[in-house]
Amino acid sequence: MEQLKIQELYSDLSKTMAKELLESKIYPWEVLPEISAFLVKLGNALSEEEYEKRGEDVWIAKSAKVAPTAYIHGPAIIGKEAEVRHCAFIRGNALVGEGAVVGNSTELKNVILFDKVQVPHYNYVGDSILGYKSHMGAGSITSNVKSDKKLVVVKGQEMQIETGLKKFGAMLGDEVEVGCGSVLNPGTVVGSHSNIYPLSSVRGVVPANSIYKKQGEVVEKDSCLQYGMLNPESA
């Protein structure tokens, strides 16, 4: 249970403008229903010298780069030095952290991206939180609704937590690497500094400092390094 808490997944909440919201909860998914209202409150308090309000409830840092072909629906905040590239689709309720990258044809909805997050190529990220410097490889997505439309349950070894949420994508800890073409199924939680192999279908809880190769084959990074099993480029 401890590994699922905000304080374990995210070591430094100063790396997101959502610090106040996250500090008020125990588990990260508890903030999902409150992102919209929080962004409106936060946006209205931002410095007019640093942020420009564009349209209804959309605030963009003056130092951010936003392609003219990108679409941004509020509430949304695009942080300092962030980059929103060609044909990105931000559907609303999105906080894009400082120095983050939202790439070509990437879609965001009801998300918090910590600072320096990269979702740079053909990603879908919905009802999710991505920790500091986490990265999703090309074509990797979060699946945020179960096929049977039932409420999402977070399932780990010898534990289950009912979230009460119908829409819940993935919670990624700090500096998580998700390989190209992977699917993070509803209720996925990946601990900090873990790697997901390309083309993986991930569900449940992946511990911190782990390598997810496939369902049922998750190893600690230290053991892989000890026996020379880790190929950083494939992880």
User: CATH number, domain at 31?
Assistant: 2.160.10.10
What does the alpha-carbon distance between residue 141 and residue 66 come to, in Å, rounded to a whole number? 22
pLDDT in tens, 150-166: 999 999 877 899 999 99
What does the alpha-carbon distance between residue 62 and residue 224 come to, in Å, rounded to a whole number? 44
Return the structure tokens found at 179.
Answer: 């390989």
Taking residues 175-194, report their average pLDDT. 98
CA atoms within 13 A on the CB side of 13: 13
Q: Are strands 89-90 and 58-61 parallel, antiparallel or unpaired?
A: unpaired
Which member of 86, 121, 135, 193 is catalytic? 121
Number of domains in the chain: 1
Q: How confident is the model at residue 234 (pLDDT cuts 50, 70, 90)?
A: very low
235 domain residue, yes or no: no
Q: How confident is the model at residue 230 (pLDDT cuts 50, 70, 90)?
A: low
The whole-number pLDDT of residue 95 equals 98
234 domain residue, yes or no: no
pLDDT in tens, 68-95: 999 999 999 999 999 999 999 999 999 9
Whether the pLDDT of residue 55 is over 50: the answer is yes
186 domain residue, yes or no: yes
Element (H, E) at 43: helix 35-44
197 domain residue, yes or no: yes
State yes or no: is 121 an active-site residue.
Answer: yes
pLDDT in tens, 101-134: 999 999 999 999 999 999 999 999 999 999 999 9
The whole-number pLDDT of residue 225 equals 54
- Mean pLDDT rounded to a whole number for the chain: 94
CA atoms within 13 A on the CB side of 212: 30
Q: Terminus-to-terminus CA distance in the chain, angstroms?
A: 26
Whether the pLDDT of residue 171 is over 60: the answer is yes
107 domain residue, yes or no: yes
The whole-number pLDDT of residue 156 equals 84
226 phi/psi in degrees, rounded to 5? -65, -40
The whole-number pLDDT of residue 1 equals 75
The whole-number pLDDT of residue 224 equals 58
Q: How confident is the model at residue 232 (pLDDT cuts 50, 70, 90)?
A: very low
Place of tokens 């992946």: 206
Q: How confident is the model at residue 223 (pLDDT cuts 50, 70, 90)?
A: low
Return the percentage of the chain with pLDDT > 70, whole number. Answer: 94
Q: Find the domain containing 204 and state its range.
A: 2-226
233 domain residue, yes or no: no
21 domain residue, yes or no: yes
118 domain residue, yes or no: yes
